[in-house]
Amino acid sequence: MSGELFVVDNLTVTLPTSRGPVDVVKNVSFTVGRDETVGIVGESGSGKSMTALAVLGLLPRGARTSGSVRLDGAELLGRSDRDLRSVRGNAISMVFQDPLSSLNPYYTVGLQIEEMYRTHRGGTRRAARRVAIEALERVHIPDAARRVDHYPHQFSGGMRQRVMIAMALCCSPSLLIADEPTTALDVTVQAQILELLGELQSTTGTGMMFITHDLAVISSIAQRVLVMQAGDPVEYGTAEQVFSDPRHEYTRMLLDAVPRIDDEVLS
Amino acid sequence: MMRYVLGRLGGVILILLAVCLFTYLIFFKLSPDPAVMICGKTCTPERIDSIRDVLGLNQPLLTQFWDFLSGIFVGRDYGSVHCSAPCLGYSFQTNESVWSMITARLPVSITVAVGAAVLWLLVGVIGGLVSAVKQGTWWDRSAMGLALGGVSVPNYVLALVLQYVLVVKLQLLPFPSAVPFADDPLLWLESYLMPWVVLAVGYACLYARLTRSNVIDTLAENYYRTARAKGLSGALIMRRHALRPALTPITTIFGMDFAGLLGGALITETVFGLNGIGKMAADSIAKNDQPVIMAVTLLAAFFVVIGNVVVDLLYTALDPRVRVVSS
Amino acid sequence: MTLLQVRGVTKEFVTRGEGTMARKSVFTAVDDVSFEVELGETLAIVGESGSGKSTTARIAARLLEPTAGTVVFDGQDVTRARGKELASFRNNVQVVFQDPFSSLNPRYTVERIITAPLTYQGITPKGGRRAFTQELMERVGLNPDHCRRYPAQFSGGQAQRIGIARALAVNPKLVICDEAVSALDVSIQAQVLELLMRLQRESGFSYVFIAHDLAVVRQISQRVAVMNRGRIVEVGTRDQVFGDPQDEYTKTLLAAVPRINPEWDARRRGKRAS
């Protein structure tokens, strides 16, 4: 296990609420290897997004964590905010659900990529700008040299998510956390973004933690799957095992509930 | 962009014309006969007639309005007296040229407005910011409580209290007077300090609450979370991803408030006896001095309308989303 | 019997810049759309964002007036209906929206929400409001004892059931579901879909079911219209559209739907059956 890129071991996240502290993530453990995609799937309130935020220390104020989160053997949990800055965006970066609200409307996409690159790698604006253009080209944004000076609202939904991905990958992180990256997108665009993520992963070897509520999406992208329900990890295994031979009742129920496009109909 | 600006300016001219017309109708047609007023107590019908003639009151309404308008741009003649452009007529009370009354008093009003604006922006924005960052702490709660109280204190009450305490009782400050800066900088500062504070308090409280809620909203934005997830430094996150988005809408409100003040701070100027546009307006209304009322109304409308355009143009510059798309 | 006929409906939105001389531009959200809904059937309208499906639904529900075209309900042209005529249309056509929490008044109890359509018309239901509400709540699978609660005290799936109950209060002939199950978790979504189908079997009304999720549409519809950029590109029975799509766009759309690995899925079912 020590050879794994990313290890989450017995992670528990406790949030303060008006009714006292609540464990929103309970004893979650999983690993992500280089080149590997691990899917975390669950319905709303399952704690899947909290798991992701806990990794980067982005939890809401007052949250407490226990357990261990290690990247290349180095412990991340309990580190100071200042200390985690060198990890965020650099070794581990994140792509969020809604690309329009996740990009700052006041700045060009170029600047938003450049500021991140220069924070971690330094160098001149000119050099960072070249990196930004290359990053946009890598995610197949046409006419990147011109588009780099455009604002987020001038892009379509799918193109915006490409920008987010370009940004996330510009410092060559070893782990990418994608939190519902295709949920806000149309299905045709979703297919393109999933394809892009697969392609980028095969060229960069980045490990990926892919969070979604959509079992069909998980099935097409993940090698291993963790199913969560109300903060509990209910099932963890290879995608093939979870989908073809689910051990837990909840997983079976979820799989039965997914409406199918190809076979038998409910009524 | 050019087209947009020209369109806006066209709109401005139309609005100002409409304001002119309405003010003209209200003050010249609905109030007592100016000729009778000017004539005074010892009056003969002949004298009234001759005054009417000089002022052009016998002309049809539209002709009168046209004379008034053209007076502003090319000047006009009242009998044998030539009033050169920009001519806004003569005060019924003092016979002074209204234009020179305005130019004499405008600097006072501008001084009051600018000083107060600097004060309320500094106090309001910084106070709101600290409150937002320390949200929920005792600092935040007491500052916001104070701000709520500050908004509700009427200007004239605050002015009278300050004046009583600082000038009469403690004798820390002189009684305000419109001292030009060049004459005596220290006295200038002492004179204007109270009017600035009085005027700024209400706005500062309002701006503090506004800034606080804007910053809190911004801190909850997804792009703020993205900025943190990118590993940017705290200062960069604050400056780019919290302050810029939170303060941009405030510039709009500030522009409008400031423009409104340039037309004169009526209560503050009157209470402190500062000879600005606001006091001039109060005096002219009290004495039904129609040309002066007309002029101060127009001036206020002018500032508000121009302020509006400036704010809109500024906003297009500050917020890329409202920039006119040039295809 | 044809219940709803939408004929050549077009909706243009005029967007206008600021300033007196700014240019106007016209955006055609719905472009010459025609379809029919039979009594008792479910017609689904699918499309991606910006396809005009929601605008079409709103026009059919008379929440928006079309720029051109007509809406005929039960033989009556209701395109420009006003007053009494419109009220009687509203009595027959109800809408269930995507987000139950923003479409139910948070300050009203369930009882008041469900009986509101009757109250507006001055009708007191037989047996009183309480009994009427409780009966409807039971029909949509809610605990009738909760009729004094407020929307915020319910989960998303339950709140959507309240929305459905409210729609059924006037005993409509047509229910328009605008992304009615899109915001729900899959397990809840399946239950609400079941409910919608059961209610239709019981009462025999029609659905116009607006959705972006093709798999969901396939569960509930008898006929399907596919919209793209304001136009209907393909309309047919469910099996035609899903089994043998004719239009290129429909084919792209179907191909893009993510699927659970069919081999794994088959193995799972095999195990479950045995």
Which position has the higher pLDDT, C25 or A29?
A: A29
In chain A, the number of structural domains is: 1
Stretch A25-43: mean pLDDT: 95
Which position has the higher pLDDT, C230 or A1?
A: C230
List all residues of chain B from 65 to 84 with a beta carbon under 8 Å from chain C: none
DSSP string over B268-294: HHHHHT--SHHHHHHHHHHTT-HHHHH
- pLDDT class for B315, splitting at 50, 70, 90? confident
Mutation target for C interface from A160, A186, A235: give the one with most C CBs within 10 A: A186
- Closest chain C CA to residue B308: C19
**Above pLDDT 70, what percent of chain A?**
97
Cβ distance of C190 and A259 shorter than 8 Å:
yes
CATH number at residue A140: 3.40.50.300
pLDDT digits (tens, 9 = 90+) for C41-97: 999 999 999 899 999 999 999 999 999 999 999 999 999 888 888 989 998 999 999
Instruction: Give, in degrees to the nearest 5, the angle at Cα A19 between A18 and A24.
Output: 95
Q: Is the pLDDT of residue B7 over 90?
A: no
- Among A253-267, B201-215, C196-210, the range scoring the smallest mean pLDDT is A253-267
Please tell me which of the candidates A58, A115, A119 has its beta carbon nearest to residue B229: A58
Which position has the higher pLDDT, B176 or C45?
A: C45
Stretch B291-310: mean pLDDT: 89
Residue A186 lies in a domain: yes
CA distance C86 to chain A (A): 34
Domain B98-322 class in CATH: mainly alpha
Calpha distance B159→B202 (Å, rounded): 12
Cβ distance of C17 and B312 shorter than 8 Å:
no
Cβ distance of B222 and A98 shorter than 8 Å:
yes
Cβ distance of C185 and A213 shorter than 8 Å:
yes
Q: Is the pLDDT of residue B323 over 80?
A: no
Cβ distance of A93 and B230 shorter than 8 Å:
yes
Stretch B120-149: mean pLDDT: 91
Q: Is B324 exposed, middle or buried (0-12, 13-18, 19+ CB in 10 A)?
A: middle
Q: Is the pLDDT of residue B317 over 80?
A: yes
C53 neighbourhood in chain A, CB within 8 Å: none
C263 neighbourhood in chain A, CB within 8 Å: 244
- φ, ψ of residue A242 to 5 degrees: the values are -65, -40
pTM for the complete prediction?
0.85
Cβ distance of B232 and A116 shorter than 8 Å:
yes
Q: Is the pLDDT of residue B177 over 80?
A: no
Residue A264 lies in a domain: no
- Report the pLDDT value the prediction gives residue A75, as an integer from 0 to 100: 95
Which position has the higher pLDDT, B317 or C235?
A: C235
Cβ distance of A188 and C253 shorter than 8 Å:
yes
Q: Is the pLDDT of residue B324 over 70?
A: no
Cβ distance of A253 and C259 shorter than 8 Å:
no
- φ, ψ of residue B97 to 5 degrees: the values are -70, 130
Cβ distance of C20 and B3 shorter than 8 Å:
no
Please tell me which of the candidates B226, B233, B241 has its beta carbon nearest to residue A119: B233
- Report the pLDDT value the prediction gives residue B31, as an integer from 0 to 100: 67
- Report the pLDDT value the prediction gives residue C15, as an integer from 0 to 100: 76
- pLDDT class for A262, splitting at 50, 70, 90? confident
Residue A173 lies in a domain: yes
CA distance B71 to chain C (A): 27
List strands edge to edge, sheet with A224-229.
A92-95, A175-179, A207-212, A37-41, A224-229, A232-238
Cβ distance of A89 and B227 shorter than 8 Å:
no
CA distance B227 to chain A (A): 9
Please tell me which of the candidates B3, B312, B324 has its beta carbon nearest to residue C21: B3
- Closest chain A CA to residue C241: A261
- Closest chain C CA to residue A214: C186
Mean pLDDT of chain C: 91
Q: Is the pLDDT of residue A264 over 60?
A: no
Stretch B286-290: mean pLDDT: 84
pLDDT digits (tens, 9 = 90+) for B63-92: 888 888 888 888 888 777 888 878 888 888
CB burial string A25-60: b at 16+ within 10 A, e below: bbebebbbebebbbbbbbbeebbbbbbbbbbbbbbe
- pLDDT class for C20, splitting at 50, 70, 90? very low
DSSP string over A112-132: HHHHHHHHHH---HHHHHHHH
CATH of domain C2-260: 3.40.50.300
Q: Is the peptide bond before B86 cis (omega within 30 degrees of 0)?
A: yes
Please tell me which of the candidates B6, B312, B324 has its beta carbon nearest to residue C21: B6
Calpha distance B62→B59 (Å, rounded): 8
Mean pLDDT of chain B: 86
Residue A234 lies in a domain: yes
Calpha distance C194→B196 (Å, rounded): 68
- pLDDT class for A3, splitting at 50, 70, 90? low
- Report the pLDDT value the prediction gives residue B22, as an integer from 0 to 100: 87
User: Which range of residues forms the domain containing residue A53?
Assistant: 6-257
Contact status, residue A214 vs residue A44, Cβ threshold 8 Å: no
Residue A263 lies in a domain: no
CA distance A147 to chain B (A): 15
- Report the pLDDT value the prediction gives residue B327, as an integer from 0 to 100: 36
Cβ distance of B10 and C22 shorter than 8 Å:
no
Quote the tokens at residue B291.
Answer: 């040309």
Mutation target for A interface from B226, B238, B326: give the one with most A CBs within 10 A: B226
pLDDT digits (tens, 9 = 90+) for C36-54: 999 999 999 999 998 999 9
Q: Is the pLDDT of residue C19 over 50?
A: no
- pLDDT class for A266, splitting at 50, 70, 90? very low
B8 neighbourhood in chain C, CB within 8 Å: 18-20
A94 neighbourhood in chain B, CB within 8 Å: 226, 229
Q: Where, residue-wise, is CATH 1.10.3720.10 in chain B? A: 98-322
- Report the pLDDT value the prediction gives residue C22, as an integer from 0 to 100: 55
H or E element that contains B234: helix B234-236
Place of tokens 């720029």: C67
pLDDT digits (tens, 9 = 90+) for A100-157: 999 999 999 999 999 999 999 999 999 999 999 999 999 999 999 999 999 999 999 9
pLDDT digits (tens, 9 = 90+) for A86-99: 999 999 999 999 99
CA distance B107 to chain A (A): 37
- Closest chain A CA to residue C218: A261
CA distance C257 to chain B (A): 28
Task: Show me where the domains of chain C are located.
Answer: 2-260
Size of interface A-C (CB pairs under 8 A): 113
Cβ distance of A259 and C272 shorter than 8 Å:
no
Q: Is B1 on the interface with C (CB under 8 A)?
A: no
Q: Is the pLDDT of residue A19 over 50?
A: yes
Contact status, residue A131 vs residue A117, Cβ threshold 8 Å: yes
Stretch B143-152: mean pLDDT: 89
